[in-house]
Every structure is written in C-alpha cells, then in structure tokens.
Amino acid sequence: MTDQDPLVPGAVNLRDVGGLPAGASRTRRGVLYRSGHLATLDEDGVAALGILGIRRVIDLRADDEVRLQPSRTDGLEIRMQRVPLFLGSATSFFEQDLSLEEMYRRIVDDSAAGVVEVVRGLLVEQPVLVHCTVGKDRTGVTVAVALAAAGVDSEAVVADYARTEALLPERRNRAVLAYLRAQHPDAVHLEDLATRSPAAAMRTLLADLAARYGSVGDYLRAHGLSDDELAELARILVEPE
C-alpha cells in the first residue's frame, strides 16, 4: 500500500462503494464515494477528483479540523456541505478513550440529526463524496447507515467498512500512533481509534440499531426521514433488479 490512492492521488482511503450486493441487485458505481480529508491532493489529485465528476462533498469534520486541513478542490464545480458529527473533533475521540463500539453508538444517538442530514445530502445530487479526517469512523457510520437503509446486504456493509484498515498507509499509521501515544500514554483504545476498522464493531452497530428500532431504515424514520426519502435513497444507490 502506498500513500497515494489509485483513484485520486494524494487522497487517503478514497473509494467508490458501487458493486456491493443488495439482494438480487448491486449498488450503482460512480454515485457514492467515501474518503479521508482532501487536504493533501496535488494537482493530479484535484484533476482526478474532477474526472470522477463529484458534484457534492459532505464534510463531517469539526471546524478546527477544517481549519487545520482545508480541502483542496480549487477550480472544481463542487458544492461543499458541512455536517460536523459527534464530539467536536477527532481529538476528543482520544481524550475520552472510547471503544469503537461506544463511539459508534454515540454517533447514531447524539448526532442522529446529522446522520439524517447526510442521507438527505446524498439525495440532492450525485456523484457525492462523504468524508471526515481518515474516512473510518464518522464516514464509516454514516455510509454504513445509508447503505443498510438502501437495502445493501448487511455483511457487504460490514465488509465495506472493514476495508478501511487495509487502505491506511503503514507509514501514516506509525507516525499517527507515535504522536497520539505521546499525548495519551494511558489510552486503552488508541490503536483501534486511530487505525482499525474491525468488522465486529460495525456488526455490533447494525445489530444494535435493528434491536432498538427494528431496522436501520426505521432508525432514520424515527429521526425524521420520510418513506419517500428512503425509497429515493434505494433508487439512487441500488441498481434495479
């Protein structure tokens, strides 16, 4: 694994979620992308992003993250949508030393309105890119919720989430872990929070939503998404059988 993504040079963990099984069908390609931040794109990366035809970028980062690593999309006709999720910034993840399971539970509970806003953003125009700092947790949860609500097979949703761990460059992981361990020497969940996307964490989240709401779609309904919006989400993301 190199530090450059094959789709967009300079981007980390950027990928198309097309081709995932959804019953007898599959998710459409070239509609929904996910990634980490876009601050390190070079000229080729910006051009590659333009070639993908991205029309909307939904940025889940807090204000301080955006100031530190502003997106490089100059010259592209892209609408930027900000939906900051969760505790305020990535730094707070490590300060609270949450497990991934607890973090994801808090995202869907404490930031339910934001999750719904992201899903509605997907409906406005496509192709659309959802991203946070690394593209693992906030992005992982919101993309998983959207896919599951659209009818994508549960294990395919889990597998797409779990891919992130293999797409984070080892050099990046070593540097990030060294920095964070110096800041939080006693943190128990630091490596999971910074570098891992275990399938079990996403299975736990999906099972929890099903147990509490009946389904992921019902979770979105409970927080304001309409039946028509859910039907449109499935139409946009999944090819007809």
Q: What is the number of other CB atoms lying within 10 angstroms of the CB of residue 17?
A: 23
Q: What integer is the mean pLDDT of 122-148?
A: 97
Q: Which residues 6+ apart lie within 8 Å of 82 measured at CB?
A: 59, 66
Q: What b/e sequence results for 130-152 when a residue is b if at least 16 CB atoms lie within 10 Å of its CB, and e otherwise?
A: bbbbbbbbbbbbbbbbbbbbbbb
Q: Check: CB of residue 107 under 8 Å from CB of residue 83.
A: no
Residue 102 has pLDDT above 50, yes or no: yes
Q: What is the pLDDT of residue 5?
A: 44
pLDDT score for 90: 61
pLDDT of residue 89: 56
Measured at the CA of 28, the angle between CA 25 and CA 31, to 5 degrees, comes to: 160
What are the DSSP calls for 181-227, one per residue? Answer: HHH-TT-SSHHHHHH---HHHHHHHHHHHHHHHSSHHHHHHHTT--H
Domains and CATH numbers, the chain: 15-233 (3.90.190.10)
The pLDDT mean for the chain works out to: 92
β-pair partners for 194: none
Instruction: Please check the confidence at residue 3 and state whether its pLDDT lies above 80.
Output: no
Judged against a pLDDT cut of 70, whether residue 149 lies above it is answered with yes
**Helices in the chain by DSSP H: which ranges?**
43-52, 63-68, 90-96, 100-110, 112-124, 138-149, 154-162, 164-167, 170-183, 190-195, 199-213, 216-222, 227-237
pTM of the full structure: 0.92
Instruction: Give the pLDDT of residue 1.
Output: 36
Which of the two residues, 139 and 182, has the higher pLDDT score? 139
